[in-house]
Protein backbone atom coordinates (compact mmCIF):
# COMPACT_ATOMS: atom_id res chain seq x y z
CA UNK A 1 0.00 0.00 0.00
CA UNK A 2 2.67 2.46 1.09
CA UNK A 3 4.67 1.53 -1.99
CA UNK A 4 1.67 2.39 -4.17
CA UNK A 5 1.18 5.77 -2.46
CA UNK A 6 4.88 6.59 -2.83
CA UNK A 7 4.70 5.53 -6.46
CA UNK A 8 1.73 7.84 -7.15
CA UNK A 9 3.42 10.73 -5.33
CA UNK A 10 6.58 10.26 -7.41
CA UNK A 11 4.63 10.15 -10.66
CA UNK A 12 2.66 13.28 -9.73
CA UNK A 13 5.87 15.07 -8.72
CA UNK A 14 7.56 14.17 -12.00
CA UNK A 15 4.57 15.32 -14.06
CA UNK A 16 4.34 18.57 -12.08
CA UNK A 17 8.06 19.17 -12.57
CA UNK A 18 7.73 18.59 -16.31
CA UNK A 19 4.79 20.97 -16.55
CA UNK A 20 6.67 23.68 -14.66
CA UNK A 21 9.78 23.21 -16.80
CA UNK A 22 7.81 23.52 -20.02
CA UNK A 23 6.24 26.74 -18.82
CA UNK A 24 9.55 28.46 -18.22
CA UNK A 25 10.25 30.10 -21.60
CA UNK A 26 13.44 28.87 -23.14
CA UNK A 27 15.04 32.23 -23.18
CA UNK A 28 18.51 31.26 -24.00
CA UNK A 29 17.87 29.52 -27.33
CA UNK A 30 16.17 32.61 -28.74
CA UNK A 31 18.77 34.88 -27.20
CA UNK A 32 21.68 32.81 -28.47
CA UNK A 33 20.27 32.52 -31.94
CA UNK A 34 19.56 36.25 -32.18
CA UNK A 35 23.01 37.03 -30.83
CA UNK A 36 24.61 34.75 -33.41
CA UNK A 37 22.62 36.45 -36.14
CA UNK A 38 23.64 39.93 -34.98
CA UNK A 39 27.27 38.90 -34.47
CA UNK A 40 27.40 37.50 -37.99
CA UNK A 41 26.37 40.96 -39.24
CA UNK A 42 28.98 42.89 -37.30
CA UNK A 43 31.49 44.96 -39.25
CA UNK A 44 34.30 42.62 -38.16
CA UNK A 45 32.44 39.58 -39.48
CA UNK A 46 31.80 41.34 -42.76
CA UNK A 47 35.31 42.65 -43.26
CA UNK A 48 36.60 39.61 -45.17
CA UNK A 49 33.81 39.65 -47.75
CA UNK A 50 33.89 43.41 -48.31
CA UNK A 51 37.66 43.34 -48.77
CA UNK A 52 37.28 40.57 -51.30
CA UNK A 53 34.93 42.82 -53.24
CA UNK A 54 37.38 45.69 -53.39
CA UNK A 55 40.33 43.50 -54.33
CA UNK A 56 38.82 41.27 -56.94
CA UNK A 57 39.53 42.58 -60.42
CA UNK A 58 36.48 40.79 -61.82
CA UNK A 59 34.22 42.70 -59.52
CA UNK A 60 34.95 46.05 -61.05
CA UNK A 61 35.43 45.20 -64.66
CA UNK A 62 32.36 45.53 -66.79
CA UNK A 63 30.49 48.40 -65.33
CA UNK A 64 30.88 51.71 -67.06
CA UNK A 65 30.36 50.46 -70.55
CA UNK A 66 27.13 48.75 -69.70
Residue ranges in contact with another protein by CB under 8 A: 33, 36-43, 45-46, 48-50, 52-56, 58-64, 66
For the chain, the straight-line distance linking the first and the last C-alpha, in angstroms and rounded, comes to 89
Are residues 39 and 45 in contact, defined by beta-carbon separation less than 8 angstroms?
yes
22 vs 61, beta carbon nearer another protein: 61
Which CB sits closer to another protein, 12 or 39?
Answer: 39
Q: State the nearest-atom distance from the C-beta of 30 to another protein, in Å.
A: 11
Structural contact between residues 59 and 53, judged by C-beta atoms closer than 8 angstroms: yes
Amino acid sequence: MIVLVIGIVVVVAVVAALVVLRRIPRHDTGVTRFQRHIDALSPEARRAVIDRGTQHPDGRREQRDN
